[in-house]
A and B are shown apart, each in its own frame.
Chain A
C-alpha cells in the first residue's frame, strides 16, 4: 500500500515536471519569435514611430542574433531531455515542430528584411554621361563633385536602393535618398 502511494506520487511528480518542460519549451519559442517579430511590427514603413519604439527595436535587433541562438540551444537541450521521457508519437512530433520553429527566428535574426524589399547595390557601376541612355534629360539626379570628379546618381535608382557607397575624388562617401 505504502509502496503504491510512493509510486503514485512519483508519477505525479514526473507529470508536473513534464508539464513544466512543455511550458518552458512554448515560452522559449514565443520569446524567440518576439525577439524578431517585435521590431518588424514597430518599424513598419507607413506607421509613425516613437523614440521609445525605435530604441526597443534597436536593442532587440542588436541582441536577437545571440539571444535566438541561446534560446535555440535551450530548446534543443529541453527537447532532448523530454524526448527520453515521452513515448507517444504525436508528442515526439510536437517536440520536433517546436525545435524546428525555434530555428526560424535564429535564422531571421541574421537577415535584413529591408534589403529583401530594396536590394542593395553591392558593386555599383558607372557609365559616361554620353552612354547614359537609361536617364532622360528631365529625370532628377543627385549630383556631387569632389576634387574635380563629378558623379550623378539618378533619383529613380536611388529611390530603390536608398544607399549607394562610392569613392568620389578620393573621398569615401555614401549617396542616400
Chain B
C-alpha cells in the first residue's frame, strides 16, 4: 500500500508487467515502471524514486470489522464477479500449488511456505507462519529492538509491535482462554490484538506498530536477500 503523491504530483498506477512473480506498475503520468513490493521506480523518468509506504494490516474480515464497525469495504465489480473472474474462496490453497519460477536460492524453507516478514533497524526477519501457530506470541529481539509477533485467535491475522512502552521493555504472555485474545505483560497490564493497553496506568496506550508482510518465502527472500529466519527455540 503506497501513497501516490511523488514530488507534489499524484500518480495513477496500472498493472504493467511482472518481475519474477512480483508485479510491475506503470504510472500514467510519466510512464515509469515501479516494483510493487518495494515501491521503487526501476525504469523511466522517475527511476530511483520511492513511494511512501502506507501502514497496512492483513487481517481476517471478522477481526477487522470488530475493530472498525463503521468503516467501508471495497465492493466487487458486478460484471467481473458475474463472469467468475475473482479468486475462488479456496484460492490461497490453490496458490500453494502454483509453480515458483524465480531462480533464487532460498534454502531452509519450502519456497511457497508463508512467512511473516518484518524489517526492524535495517534487519529483515522472517517468521514462518507454522512457527507462529505453534508458539504465539513470539517474543524476540531484532537488532537490539524488542519485538512481539502476534497471531489473533482466527489463526490468520498477524501483527507485530515493539515491546517497549515509555522506554521500558516488556514481556508478554497470552492470557489463557481469552476470546477475543488478550495479552498480559510482566506487570499485569492487559493488551488487546491492536496493541492497546486495556487497564491500569497505561490504559489507552499503544505499542509502536511494526509493518508486517505476509509473503511466500521465495518472494520475501528475493527482496530481502539478507533476511534472517526465525526458528522455534531461539530464545
Q: Which of B58-66, B178-186, B227-235 contacts A (4 or more CB under 8 A)?
A: B58-66
- Bound CA span A129–B64, Å: 10
Q: Which of A9-17, A19-27, A79-87, A163-171 contacts B (4 or more CB under 8 A)?
A: A163-171
A-B interface pairs (CB < 8 A), number: 210
Q: Does A146 lie within 8 Å of B54, measured CB to CB?
A: yes
Question: Which one of A43, A127, A130 contacts B17 once the chains associate, using CB atoms below 8 Å?
Answer: A43
Interface residues on B, range: 35 or more
Q: Does B42 lie within 8 Å of A54, measured CB to CB?
A: yes
CB distance from B22 to the nearest CB of A (A): 10
Do A120 and B91 form a contact, CB below 8 Å, given A126-B73, A139-B60? no
Question: Which one of A43, A121, A149, A152 contacts B64 once the chains associate, using CB atoms below 8 Å?
Answer: A152
Q: Quick check: is B76 within 8 A (CB to CB) of the other chain?
A: yes
Report A-chain residues with C-beta under 8 Å of the C-beta of B101.
Answer: 45-48
Q: Does B76 lie within 8 Å of A134, measured CB to CB?
A: yes
Using CB atoms, name the residue of chain B closest to A39. Answer: B17
Q: Does A143 lie within 8 Å of B68, measured CB to CB?
A: yes
- Which residues 69-96 in B have Cβ within 8 Å of A in the complex? 69-77, 80-81, 85-87, 89, 91-92
Do A137 and B60 form a contact, CB below 8 Å, given A46-B101, A151-B73, A173-B4? yes
Per-position 1/0 for A141-152, Cβ under 8 A of B: 111111001111
Using CB atoms, name the residue of chain B closest to A46. Answer: B101
Using CB atoms, name the residue of chain B closest to A128. Answer: B72
Q: Does A159 lie within 8 Å of B87, measured CB to CB?
A: yes
- Bound CA span A120–B16, Å: 11
Interface residues on A, range: 35 or more
Q: Quick check: is A73 within 8 A (CB to CB) of the other chain?
A: no
Q: Quick check: is B165 within 8 A (CB to CB) of the other chain?
A: no
CB distance from A115 to the nearest CB of B (A): 6
Q: Which of A28-36, A55-63, A91-99, A102-110 contacts B (4 or more CB under 8 A)?
A: A55-63
Q: Does A150 lie within 8 Å of B59, measured CB to CB?
A: no
Q: Does A143 lie within 8 Å of B80, measured CB to CB?
A: no
Q: Does A136 lie within 8 Å of B89, measured CB to CB?
A: yes
CB distance from B183 to the nearest CB of A (A): 20
- Which residues 87-135 in B have Cβ within 8 Å of A in the complex? 87, 89, 91-92, 98-99, 101-103
Do A115 and B14 form a contact, CB below 8 Å, given A46-B101, A49-B19, A143-B59? yes
Question: Which one of B42, B61, B86 contacts A152 once the chains associate, using CB atoms below 8 Å?
Answer: B61
- Which residues 165-224 in B have Cβ within 8 Å of A in the complex? none
Using CB atoms, name the residue of chain B closest to A47. Answer: B101
Q: Does A156 lie within 8 Å of B86, measured CB to CB?
A: yes
Q: Does B15 lie within 8 Å of A114, measured CB to CB?
A: yes
Using CB atoms, name the residue of chain A closest to B77. Answer: A121
Q: Does A126 lie within 8 Å of B42, measured CB to CB?
A: no
CB distance from B126 to the nearest CB of A (A): 19
What would be 19 A-B contacts, judged by CB atoms less than 8 Å apart? A43-B17, A43-B24, A48-B101, A124-B75, A126-B74, A127-B72, A137-B60, A137-B61, A138-B156, A140-B156, A141-B59, A141-B60, A152-B61, A152-B72, A155-B87, A157-B76, A163-B14, A174-B2, A176-B1
Nearest 6 pairs of A and B residues by beta carbon? A137-B62, A150-B71, A58-B43, A126-B72, A150-B68, A132-B73
Measuring CB to CB, which residues of chain B are less than 8 angstroms from any residue of chain A?
1-5, 10, 12-21, 23-26, 31, 33, 36, 42-44, 54-62, 64-65, 68-77, 80-81, 85-87, 89, 91-92, 98-99, 101-103, 154, 156
